[in-house]
Structure 1
Amino acid sequence: MLIRLGYELALDLPQDTPVVTALEIHSDRRQDIRWEAGFLPTPMVNTQTYVDAYGNRCRRFVAPAGRFTMRYDAVVEDSGLLDPVAPDAQETPVAELPTECIGYLLGSRYCETDHLSTLAWNLFGQTRPGWERVQAIVDYVHDRLSFGYGYARSTRTAAQAHEERVGVCRDFAHLAIAFCRAMNIPARYVNGYLGDINVPADPAPMDFSAWVEAYVGGRWYTFDPRHNKPRTGRVVVARGRDATDVPLVHTFGAHVLSKFEVWTYEETSQPAAGRKADEDEGNDFRISAAA
């Protein structure tokens, strides 16, 4: 199947401002791009792409003062299959984990494993290690938190989400990740596109989505605490320890988000002729102090 996806974002900036974005389709899906219009800034600026420490494709540039718009449009081929499910996947002992997994066992900015460790073992210590334990965590988070866009708060941590019992998809992900790590299961934060494909359409405006990947059975599997069911058509944009590592837009100075539009849906017609992905091109926003 083909998936049409993209975004149009606009920032109002009081001055020329350095920006880093993590909005590129992840490298492990680049080969699936069948057509893309590419990154289209207005006004035009020079940009540079690079790969960060987590393997994400990032873009940096200086946005001029005033209204600055970023647009991207693409068609991606997808298997059309649901997220894989492996109920018999076993937990890997910490001593046997690949080295690259160790960092995903540690606490991070939004996932306070030290604060939640005792609670995690009380809640999940009697569940069977492996897939069953991760699924028990996801079930608990799904039932514990109430979802609502009005609950969004960029500073909310996993422990705070647990206490407040509300959040958006990133909060669901952070709480599940923190519980997994407290149980010695590597878990990482993922954001990307997830359209209403083969499910009832959500009347709310489309947004980027956040979910979890947990390491069981010798590989990373997708778990989605917000929806808590296998879905079709996920397209990864970025992965990290938590949302700190993968803000969609990081401005080094003040900005006002004046437009935010995301689309992702099944494309029933063949894409028009356009530019293919160029590998040589060099609902999280972050503001740093101006340089």
Structure 2
Amino acid sequence: MTNITSLRCDLEYAIHADTHFCFNIQASRRGDQRILDESLTITPGIQVRQFEDPNNGNRFFRCDGIPGKLVVRYDARIENTRQKPDHSLVECSITDMPNEVLHYLLPSRFCQSDVMSRAAQHLFGRVPQGYQRVSHICDWIRENIAYQLGTSNATTSAQDVYLQRAGVCRDYAHLAITFCRALNIPARLVVGYVHFDEPPQDFHATFEAWLGGQWVMFDPTNLAPAEAVVRVGTGRDAKDTAFATMFGAVTMSYMHIQVNHDGQPPLDDPDPREATVQRLIMA
């Protein structure tokens, strides 16, 4: 299946003191998606440094901001050829796992699979292995964790979500990753863009599990088809995939994301920002 996605991401920050920014909002060039065209607009016109993570393909750009306002706009059209997964995919023995995959079995800051091992074994230890077990983990999370905006923050971990029984897409993905790793299934976080009706458009978090010798994407929220997600960041957890990291005194004053899966361009920004801009066209 081939899908063309048009997207626009608008971000605005009020800078209170000299600040260094590192953004990860550009579509990845890796895997089953291809960038047809894209543009990045920064206001005011400042020097931008771009680099790509050689391990996961995450694309970053960095810039320095002075007190005032910083406005970022990213537009792109993406061709996505991700297929629906084969439900017969099996789990891989640890002995046969590739070296670069083994890393995703280990606990990480937000996914304490060592602490959650007992719970994972109790809930899913007897579920048939393979795609069916990972799918069962997603079903359990949807049935037992309430999707509620404002119930978590930047420091909420999978264990916190398990105890408080509420969270958002990032929390659902972290908990699923934690359960998978505790069952010796490598898993990693994927963040990106996808269209869904509710809640309002935002960066969306899903996860991938290593099954049948390949990474397979799942969305525990079931808000959108996993095969429609435009990949931006991939990593162990949210620490590796934050869309913006700021080193200074900053307040986000505006964010607006539009995603169209029919290939049509995004609508005009309902809250346009008037400013002189520097446009960076990327090959």
TM over 0.5: yes
Match of 1:84 in 2: 84
Question: Corresponding residue for 1:255?
Answer: 250
- 1:191 has 2:185 as partner: no
Please show how residues 95-114 of structure 1 align to structure 2 within 5 Å.
95-114=95-114
What pairs up with 1:140-151 in 2 under 5 angstroms?
Answer: 140-151=140-151
State the Cα distance separating 1:33 from its structure 2 match: 2.3
Q: Tell me how far 1:78 sits from its aligned partner.
A: 3.2
**Is contact 1:138–1:228 with CA below 8 Å preserved after alignment?**
no
1:55 Cα shift? 2.3
Is the CA contact 1:19–1:249 (under 8 Å) kept in the aligned structure 2? yes
| Aligned twin of 2:260 | 265
Cα distance in 1, alignment partners of residues 183 and 217 from structure 2: 17
Among residues 267, 270, 278, which one is paired with 2:282 in the alignment?
A: 278
State the 4+ residue runs in structure 1 displaced beyond 6 angstroms.
none
AA aligned opposite 1:23: I
Q: Give the drift of 1:255.
A: 1.1
- Measured against aligned partners, the alpha-carbon deviations of 1:16-45 in whole angstroms (never above 9, x if no partner) come to 211111111112269722232x11111011
The alpha-carbon distance between structure 1 residues 231 and 97, as it changes in their structure 2 partners (threshold 3 A), is closer
CA distance in 2 between counterparts of 1:144 and 1:167 reads 11
Equivalent position of 1:137 in the other structure? 137
Residues 1:229 and 1:85: Cα distance change in structure 2 (over 3 Å): farther
Whether 1:55 aligns to 2:50 is no
Letter aligned with residue 238 of structure 2: A
**Whole-angstrom CA distance in 1 between matches of 2:265 and 2:171:** 37
1:8-87 equivalences under 5 Å are 8-28=10-30, 32-36=34-38, 38-52=39-53, 53-79=55-81, 84-87=84-87
Residues matched between the structures, number: 268
How far apart, in 2, do the equivalents of 1:12 and 1:119 lie?
43
From the superposition, tell whether residues 55 and 139 of structure 1 become closer, same or farther in structure 2 (CA, over 3 Å): same
1:203-243 deviation line (CA, Å, top 9, x unaligned):
x3211100010000110001111117744521000100000
Instruction: Give 2:207's aligned residue.
Output: 212
Equivalent AA in structure 2 for residue 121 of structure 1: Q
- Cα deviation for residue 109 of structure 1 reads 0.5
Task: List per-residue Cα deviations over 1:140-163 (Å, max 9, x = no partner).
Answer: 112121112222311110011000
Distance apart, 1:270 and its partner CA: 7.9
How far apart, in 1, do the equivalents of 2:165 and 2:33 lie? 40
Question: In the alignment, is the contact (CA less than 8 A) between 1:139 and 1:228 conserved in 2?
Answer: no
> What RMSD in Å do the two structures reach over aligned CA positions?
2.2
Kept in 2, the 8 Å contact 1:211–1:223? The answer is yes
> Is the partner of 1:19 in helix, strand or coil?
strand
2: distance between equivalents of 1:156 and 1:170? 10
Determine if contact 2:208/2:217 at 8 Å carries over to the other structure. yes
Give the secondary-structure state (helix, strand or coil) at the position aligned to 2:228.
coil
Q: Using a 3 Å threshold, how does the CA distance of structure 1 residues 24 and 30 change in structure 2: closer, same or farther?
A: farther
Change (3 A) 1:153 1:231: same
Counterpart CA distance in 2 for 1:60 and 1:75 is 22
**Which residue matches 1:94?**
94
Supply the distance in 1 between the matched residues of 2:208 and 2:33 (Cα, whole angstroms): 21
Task: Give the conservation status (yes or no) of the 8 Å contact 2:14–2:70.
Answer: yes
- Residue pair 2:195, 2:224 contacting (<8 A) in 1 also: no
Distance in 2 separating the partners of 1:69 and 1:267: 27
Unaligned runs of 5+ in 2: 267-278
Unaligned segments of structure 1, at least 5 residues: 280-291
Does the alignment pair 1:221 with 2:220? Answer: no
Amino acid at match of 2:241: V
> 2:66 & 2:194 partners in 1: Cα distance?
31
Residues 104/231 of structure 1: CA separation in 2 closer, same or farther (3 Å cut): closer
Checking the alignment, whether the CA contact within 8 Å between 2:217 and 2:227 is kept in structure 1 is: no
What's the % identity of the aligned pairs? 34
